[in-house]
Chain A
Amino acid sequence: KAGVTQTPRYLIKTRGQQVTLSCSPISGHRSVSWYQQTPGQGLQFLFEYFSETQRNKGNFPGRFSGRQFSNSRSEMNVSTLELGDSALYLCASSLVGRLEDEQFFGPGTRLTVL
């Protein structure tokens, strides 16, 4: 069974631009979560989607948004990019997002903001 895939793997943008990252969960998984990983802050939870609805959200500004499609694929968008948004963005999927459901992580998208 194919794992979680994320596209693109690498991205370079300039300040003020916007970016869209994509995540395809494992087949049959309906919960998708996003995390930001930086050397200073570590891994921080961005948001979780289930059945096209945002179910939980971390402490990030409104410039960070996401959505989920009917096939469970998810996108996250960052508008008005800042230098501090440079990070590895990880997507994770699980069956339905219950406490006992294991999360499977993708390889991440490395975003560099210049």
Chain B
Amino acid sequence: GDSVTQMEGPVTLSEEAFLTINCTYTATGYPSLFWYVQYPGEGLQLLLKATKADDKGSNKGFEATYRKETTSFHLEKGSVQVSDSAVYFCALKVSGGYQKVTFGIGTKLQVIP
């Protein structure tokens, strides 16, 4: 079946530090890949996505590149802010699965001033 693996964390960084959250996947078909973010007390928000190999998704300074050869979609940001503190979920969706999204366990990020 489909699965997504990411570190659970928590990850604690100082403000302006570089962020990397690793994500690898296995999929039965050709997946679209996503990063979602969940702020405290809120639902999930789509952060970025990529639908084919070598695509780079980007939003709010975050980036992730779809690497088919390594089945990875690592999330990066060059300089994190306190407001980036949240839980980040890597996820995938495959054709034919309609809106069934398979999520990773989520990585909690805490940014300290």
Using CB atoms and an 8 Å cutoff, list the residues of chain A in contact with chain B.
4, 31, 33, 35, 42-45, 48, 50, 55-56, 58, 90, 92, 94, 97-103, 105-108
Contact = CB atoms under 8 A, between A and B. Distances in A.
B69 interface: no
Contacts of B98: 31, 48, 50, 55-56, 97-99
A18 to B, nearest CB: 24
Nearest to A57: B100
Contacts of A97: 98-99
B103 A43 contact: yes
Q: Is the interface of A mostly helix, strand, loop or mixed?
A: strand
Q: Is the interface of B mostly helix, strand, loop or mixed?
A: loop
Task: Please tell me the size bucket of the interface on B.
Answer: 20 to 34
Nearest to A44: B103
Contacts of A107: 41-43
Contact of A42 (B94, B95, B106): B106
B99 A4 contact: no
Q: What are the 9 tightest A-B residue pairs by CB atom distance, in nearest-first order?
A: A105-B43, A43-B103, A105-B44, A42-B105, A97-B99, A33-B99, A107-B43, A97-B98, A48-B99
Given A107-B42, A107-B43, A42 B103 contact: yes
B43 A106 contact: yes
Interface of B: 32, 36, 41-46, 51, 89, 93-95, 97-106
25 contacts: A33-B99, A33-B101, A35-B103, A42-B89, A43-B106, A44-B103, A45-B100, A45-B102, A48-B98, A48-B99, A48-B100, A55-B98, A56-B97, A56-B98, A58-B100, A92-B44, A92-B99, A97-B98, A97-B99, A98-B98, A103-B46, A105-B43, A105-B45, A107-B42, A108-B43
B43 A90 contact: yes
Contacts of A31: 98-99
B109 to A, nearest CB: 16
